[in-house]
Amino acid sequence: MALKWRDFDTAINRYTVAIKLDQADYTIYSNRSLALASNQQWKEALNDAEQAIRLAPFIPLGYYRKHEALHGAGRYCEAICAFNKFLDLSETAGSGTHSQYIRPETVKMTVGEIAKKLLKNTPPRLFDTESGVICGQPARLEVFEHSGHYTEIVSMITTYDKLEREAESKVQDYFAYGMLSHRWESGEVRLQDIRQGESIYTSRFSGLSKLQNFCRITKSQQLRWAWCDTCCIDLTNSVELQEAINSMFRWYRGSALTIIYLSDISNSTLDALTRSLWLTRGWTLQELLAPMVILFYRRDWTLFAPEESLKNSEVGPNHKNSDHICRILDEATGVDVVNLRDFKPGPTCSRLKLHWASRRSTTKVEDIAYSLFGIFDVQLPILYGEQEDKALGRLIQEIICRTGDVSVLDWVGQPGCMNSCLPENISCFQVAKWKPEPLALEDSMSTLRESLSSVTMTAMATLHHRLQDLPAPLLMHGKLTIPSIIYRVEDVTERQSHNRLHQYSLNVAGLKELHIETTEKLRIGSEMNPSRYDYSIAHIWRDDLLQCLTEEPDDETTRTLEFIGRLGQPFVAFLLVREGRTFRKVASTERIIAQVDDMSRVHATSFDVKTVEIV
């Protein structure tokens, strides 16, 4: 009973009394072995198991107890042999109880398959933090199969149930790896600098200090494997580089820990963190967002531990758990705490993500776009030499293709060479996304009901349906095809010109007067062709216009009034110039914010609804 109630000391004492009275058979020894093993008295448990075997050499139980004791003592190979003997005797006895147990050979095969599957989702090369040797995936599998961890798993898993519940997590624990995030500096070690089979701990190659410290700290965090971008990727192999860039986010997300080395910080003040150049680099945005666990380290490789966090016991195994550090990162990067802690990659909220990247820079100009591929969860070719505007343009094209989200066209600056609606560089997104004032539904609808004629309501309902029926936006081969509401520019007046900047006033049918500043010289007054309207204002934000404020408008009138209310709000306008059958967007130094002049007087001749092609 004492053994049943897990009172192991009492059980041991009672079995000991029975043994001293010379009343013990093999069951007494096997039961005391179980009680001793439960108390982690492995040597004594093994002695009792062997005594049980001597008393009953053909009964399986003694070998099972021997397996338990040997496994607990860390003698895994011997434990496996004892377990095999237990299974052999169980099968010979034909009791049927052995059916729940699994052969170590089967465990080895299953564990090997699990390991191979896990390795496919890890970087091709990692450092062994124990030996300091860089290892490919086959070498890591070989190290694993010759490790004590491997024999421990094989010895531990004795039943099919355990195999299903514990095998994968145990293998994952072994292959868990740490990643380094840092700012590249001169003299970084490359893959070609590390000789095959040579340990970085004993190598005399100069410039290994950063790598050595990173691997030692990773090892101190109980992680066997470590990855550093400077030398775990063959940067001379374009195929491998392509795969690495498209896999980088996944690798950081799969890491057990990402160590962020701040080489320009010597103290642990939060103010120092905000000034680190690490926060200004392009690649480090995904290295901040992707990992679930991060730790900042200072120049001397000591843990970054601000007093504010220490007072609140926030600094532990993960700096993302620190409210103070996350607040500072929010202020410094624009990334909110929710996304810092649980970022989900994908093409949603695209305009916001481009804004996060807009103040960052990279050594190779194309990398500012390539570093965002993982954040947007896109797979695109890496084409160094194409320049930033084309790399960024291909990314934006993919976003629009997958989501139809044209908010990524809301930027200020000069266009690139792919399309006049695509920016020259990432800094064009520094201006935050345009957010109009919330529409006061009840007040606006009440006013509109009173002011709009039935003819206008009918025209607006028709417009609403026409806009719904237009195809989704498409950006392909340098041409943007996009559904729009087009307003005619009837007159252009130049207000001022200075240092290649021209300021104009635009008289647009149905809209309030517009003022713009551009580097482009516009045709004005008599220079304009009155028969074809050289310039137009485009409202391209169809999704905003069609969005319903109420969950399910109960009638056509309500839907139309909501649409009219949205149509009357200020919007970001595109100034388009006609070039044959297509249009080109005119770049401006600031957003062009347009608004319908008077919704009660708006009529269908003021605008057109159609799909336009912009080059």
pLDDT tens sequence across 187-216: 899 999 988 889 999 988 888 999 999 999
Provide mean pLDDT across the span 469-483.
93
Please count the other Cβ atoms lying within 10 Å of the Cβ belonging to residue 5: 9
Average predicted confidence (pLDDT) for the chain: 90
Which residue did the predictor score with more confidence, 598 or 363?
A: 363
Do 381 and 524 lie in a common domain? no
Q: Is the pLDDT of residue 447 over 70?
A: no
User: Does residue 229 sit within a domain?
Assistant: no
Q: Is the pLDDT of residue 577 over 60?
A: yes
- Using CA atoms, how far residue 32 sits from 2, 39, 50, 51, in Å, is 11, 11, 12, 11
Residues 272 and 93: their CA atoms lie apart, in Å, by 72
Q: Is the pLDDT of residue 434 over 70?
A: yes
Q: State the number of CA atoms in the 13 A half-sphere of 601 facing the CB.
A: 7
Q: Is the pLDDT of residue 237 over 60?
A: yes
pLDDT recorded at residue 441:
60
Do 531 and 414 lie in a common domain? no
Which residue did the predictor score with more confidence, 362 or 499?
A: 362
- Pick the range with the lowest mean pLDDT from 215-219, 425-429, 567-571: 567-571
pLDDT recorded at residue 352:
97
Which residue did the predictor score with more confidence, 315 or 479?
A: 479
Do 491 and 597 lie in a common domain? yes
Do 453 and 418 lie in a common domain? no
| Exposed e or buried b per residue across 168-203, where buried means at least 16 C-beta atoms within 10 angstroms of its C-beta | bebbeebbbbbbbbbbeeeeebebebbeeeebbbeb
Residues 362 and 367: their CA atoms lie apart, in Å, by 6
User: Does residue 569 sit within a domain?
Assistant: yes
Do 379 and 419 lie in a common domain? yes
Do 391 and 477 lie in a common domain? no
pLDDT recorded at residue 444:
62
Do 412 and 456 lie in a common domain? no
Do 47 and 82 lie in a common domain? yes
pLDDT recorded at residue 59:
92
pLDDT recorded at residue 42:
95
Q: What's the structural domain count of the chain?
A: 3
Indicate the SS3 state at residue 146.
coil
Q: Is the pLDDT of residue 552 over 60?
A: no
DSSP state of 530: T
The pLDDT-based confidence of 543 (bands split at 50, 70, 90) is confident
Do 537 and 571 lie in a common domain? yes
Of 100, 127, 150, the last residue of a domain is 100
User: Does residue 372 sit within a domain?
Assistant: yes
β 225-227/257-261 pair status: unpaired
Q: Roughly how many angstroms between the first and final C-alpha of the chain, as a whole number?
A: 85
Please count the other Cβ atoms lying within 10 Å of the Cβ belonging to residue 228: 27
Of 48, 83, 100, the last residue of a domain is 100
Q: Is the pLDDT of residue 104 over 80?
A: yes
User: Does residue 234 sit within a domain?
Assistant: no
Summarised one tens digit per residue, pLDDT across range 124-143 is 999 999 999 999 999 999 99
- Pick the range with the lowest mean pLDDT from 3-12, 106-115, 181-190: 3-12
Do 414 and 524 lie in a common domain? no
pLDDT recorded at residue 593:
96
Cross-strand bridge partners of residue 517: 503
Provide mean pLDDT across the span 233-252.
96
3-state DSSP of 300-327: CCCECCCHHHHHCCCCCCCHHHCHHHHH
User: Does residue 191 sit within a domain?
Assistant: no
The pLDDT-based confidence of 606 (bands split at 50, 70, 90) is confident
Summarised one tens digit per residue, pLDDT across range 304-338 is 988 666 555 455 689 999 999 999 999 999 999 99
Instruction: Map tokens 């839907």 to a residue.
Output: 559
Do 415 and 481 lie in a common domain? no
Q: Is the pLDDT of residue 504 over 90?
A: yes
- Using CA atoms, how far residue 127 sits from 225, 251, 256, 300, 330, in Å, is 5, 14, 15, 21, 33
What's the CA dihedral at 559, 562, 566, 569 to 10 degrees?
A: 160
* pTM for this model (two decimals): 0.89
Total residues belonging to the chain? 615
Q: Among the ranges 8-17, 165-174, 536-545, which has the highest mean pLDDT value? A: 165-174
User: Does residue 185 sit within a domain?
Assistant: no
Of 85, 100, 115, the last residue of a domain is 100
Do 376 and 469 lie in a common domain? no
Q: Is 68 left (phi over 0), alpha (psi -120 to 50) or beta?
A: alpha
- Pick the range with the lowest mean pLDDT from 346-360, 464-478, 503-517: 464-478
Please, what is the angle between helix 148-156 and helix 61-72, to 10°?
Answer: 150
Residue 53 lies in domain: 8-100
Q: What percentage of the chain reaches a pLDDT higher than 90?
A: 72
User: Does residue 162 sit within a domain?
Assistant: no
DSSP state of 520: S
pLDDT recorded at residue 525:
73
Please, what is the angle between helix 26-38 and helix 8-20, to 10°?
Answer: 150
User: Does residue 452 sit within a domain?
Assistant: yes
The pLDDT-based confidence of 277 (bands split at 50, 70, 90) is very high
The pLDDT-based confidence of 531 (bands split at 50, 70, 90) is low
Q: Is the pLDDT of residue 242 over 80?
A: yes
Q: Tell me, what CATH number does 72's domain have?
A: 1.25.40.10
Q: What percentage of the chain reaches a pLDDT higher than 70?
A: 91
The pLDDT-based confidence of 94 (bands split at 50, 70, 90) is confident
**What letter represents residue 89's amino acid?**
L
- Pick the range with the lowest mean pLDDT from 30-34, 92-96, 176-180, 424-428: 92-96
